[in-house]
Chains A and B, each alone.
Chain A
Amino acid sequence: MDRLRLATAWFGGCAGCHMSFLDLDEFLLELATKVELVYSPIVDVKEYPENVALCLVEGAICNTDNLELLRAIRARTKVLAAFGDCAVTANVPAIRNQFGPGNKQNVLQCAYIENACHNRSLPNAAGLLPALLPRVMPLHEVVRVEYFLPGCPPAAAHIKALVGAILAGTEPKLEGIQLKFG
């Protein structure tokens, strides 16, 4: 049987959800016989491939690079799961939204003018540095999302249950403890 084409991606977040994925520990060895990890921060494939069966997407959508890649992921992926609280609600990265329409300037000003002593200036390099979006967004504000797996991060057991159900061809049961935030 062909292995399931699995991808993971990481936007504005802390990598904690990916660390929780690695907390599958020895189950990773078993998983490797059932899935092919075709794109992920932990592998070297640089371009998001076509025909991905399942993608776990961690993080909120914070900048123009995130937006572009998320749209590419959606177009090339059958099942997309919002992976962790930042992907589901925008969570911590969205705290900057409270500063309103000027939040982008505020957060940059604080980091690069107030908390610097040399070359105080806002970083700016067209083509290299993506611009921050005016508002941080959860995934489903941008694209269709099939499943939501909350948690900060989702426990490894919850990730195993979701991936396991999809591997078995059954509908993942996202209920009870599986829906725990934080």
Chain B
Amino acid sequence: MPKQIVIEPVTRIEGHAKISIRLDNEDNVSDAEFHVVEFRGFEKFCEGRPYSEMPGLTQRICGICPVSHTLASAKAGDAIMAVNITPAADKLRRLINLGQFVQSHALSFFHLSAPDFLLGWDTPPAQRNVFGLMAANADLARAGIRLRQFGQEVIEILGGKKIHPAWAVPGGVRSPLTEEGRAWIAAWLPEAFATAKIALELFHKTMETHQREIQIFGNFPSLFMGLVAPDGSWEHHNGNLRFIDSSGSIIADQMDPRKYFEFIGESVQSASYLKSPFYTPLGFPDGMYRVGPLARLNVCERMGVPKADEELKHFKSLGRGAVTSSFFYHYARLIEILAALEFIERSLEDPDLLSEDLRADAGINSHRGVGVSEAPRGTLFHDYTVDRNGLLLKVNLIVATGQNNLAMNQTVAQIARHYVRGKTIPEAMLNRVEHGIRCYDPCLSCSTHALGQMPLLIRLLGPDGAVLHETSRG
């Protein structure tokens, strides 16, 4: 008789969710699903509001990556006005996005995920968190906290506020970098580089001791998608989309991201508020693709900065073709921190960052505008249709985490197959299944345009819904 296990909620991820695992008649895992349980309805309630308000409103989708939403939204506004923004405004937007990559990736690594592989998978739940990390290794915890702070300060220096800066606007940005701000960033950079180096050294050791996790934490073939520059190098804000398969072969290249609807479709999962986008030429579910740090490093040929390029060489050696284990999301995230720091360092010498020539102005010249940027968790799409007064008639948002939905389901199933035996749920499994999800650093505020937390309760259900077994942690 088939049965179902439900895990609710999952913790140390950025959102409210549950996990269900179905067993077949022999009590083997048949499949698994990740359920996102929060929904706010942004796409609907933005209708009727002016497009110029959207960079401020849509960043309230997510307090973890508000900069991503404000940038994608401002870009959609640029398209509605049909303007080319000034080079200075583009460089400043790129700089704030790099600051965000650093803060968001540091949060994922130090505050949320590292307690598992640095403190140990079977550490008691009450200690297995960033406060436990502070107690066990105060210097490392402090370094991680300060690396996140560095990213947040870059955002505040440019945008005036760490969370929800009112700064990017359709047509450009509000204000330039100041001399003081530039000096402040330059002075903190050496420490940030030092922390990135420590984290990378730690993770190199972790990879040596975590061969089993590498094997089973989301290790399967899929497509990968991300923006790349015209020459195929790493890109985080402009550029075009590239899809590769798990052999590493490019299956579509330099696709205009503003025409995403020609090759990306969204499927509804009946038991989740999170939709599953897929690559339409391959259909559903074969068109499953992954986005985010792992995907961006898989699709690009080089980072474009020397230290990160050294690491990228090692990263590329971890797969035959593409690197297919989602455990390597952590490694990719650290390489992106390093690259972001190098790009920030390089950009500080650019006099354009101090320019006052920051804003293009125009009326409504196009009734539809699509803005695309790489958020820390993957490619983000804002698609607005407006009337002649610039009031929104229709909004579609495709966020990073949704695009990893199908892969997260497979990851949970793969880990569960390894650990679940029969109708009981081993404690060892709980945290590991959750970590499978943490690899993707899902941001469920974004994904459902909603938000919450995920503690953990696993229920084993009979086909009639009766609870056969229940276990929770904490």
Contacts and interface: CB of A to CB of B under 8 A. Distances in A.
Do chains A and B stick together as partners? yes
> Which A-B residue pairs are the 6 nearest by beta carbons?
A16-B63, A107-B41, A41-B453, A125-B271, A46-B455, A118-B267
Given A20-B162, A22-B107, A43-B11, A128 B18 contact: yes
A124 B272 CA distance: 8
A142 interface: no
A16 B35 contact: no
B61 A96 contact: no
Contact of A23 (B47, B131, B152, B445): B152
Nearest to A152: B164
Interface stretch (A25-33, A70-78, A169-177): A25-33
Nearest to A86: B60
A124 B270 contact: yes
A106 B43 CA distance: 10
B125 A26 contact: no
A19 B271 contact: no
Contacts of A59: 451-452
B455 A132 contact: no
Contact of A46 (B130, B148, B273, B474): B474
Contact of B473 (A12, A23, A46, A153): A46
Contacts of A115: 43, 266, 275, 396
Given A16-B60, A152-B60, A43 B163 contact: no
Contacts of B163: 16, 19-20, 23, 153
Contacts of B152: 23
B135 A121 contact: no
Contacts, number: 235
A119 B268 contact: yes
Interface in A7-43: 9-20, 22-23, 25-26, 28-29, 32, 37, 40-43
B238 interface: no
A16 B44 contact: no
A40 B196 CA distance: 27
A121 B266 contact: no
B351 interface: no
A125 B129 CA distance: 31
A48 to B, nearest CB: 9
Interface in B380-416: 394, 396
B114 to A, nearest CB: 12
- Classify chain B: how many residues form its interface, as a range: 35 or more
B43 A111 contact: yes
Interface string B129-164: 111001100100110011011001000000000111
Contacts of A26: 142, 145-146, 149
B334 to A, nearest CB: 19
Which of A10, A107, A128 is packed against the most chain B CB atoms within 10 Å?
A: A128
Contacts of A93: 40
A41 B15 CA distance: 8
Contacts of B284: 118-119
A101 interface: no
B129 A46 contact: no
B45 A42 contact: no
B265 A127 contact: no
B457 interface: yes
B142 to A, nearest CB: 6
20 contacts: A10-B452, A13-B445, A15-B451, A23-B163, A26-B145, A26-B146, A37-B129, A41-B12, A43-B126, A45-B474, A46-B473, A62-B450, A92-B40, A111-B39, A111-B44, A115-B275, A117-B265, A119-B269, A123-B269, A123-B272
Contacts of B61: 14
Contact of B64 (A15, A32, A128, A156): A15
A19 B141 CA distance: 16
Given A25-B146, A29-B142, A129-B273, 16 more contacts: A15-B64, A23-B162, A29-B145, A41-B11, A43-B128, A45-B11, A45-B455, A107-B39, A107-B41, A116-B266, A118-B265, A118-B278, A118-B284, A119-B267, A153-B63, A153-B163
B120 interface: no
B39 A110 contact: no
Contacts of B273: 123, 129
B374 interface: no
A44 interface: yes
Nearest to B269: A123
Nearest to A119: B268
A107 B284 CA distance: 25
B308 interface: no
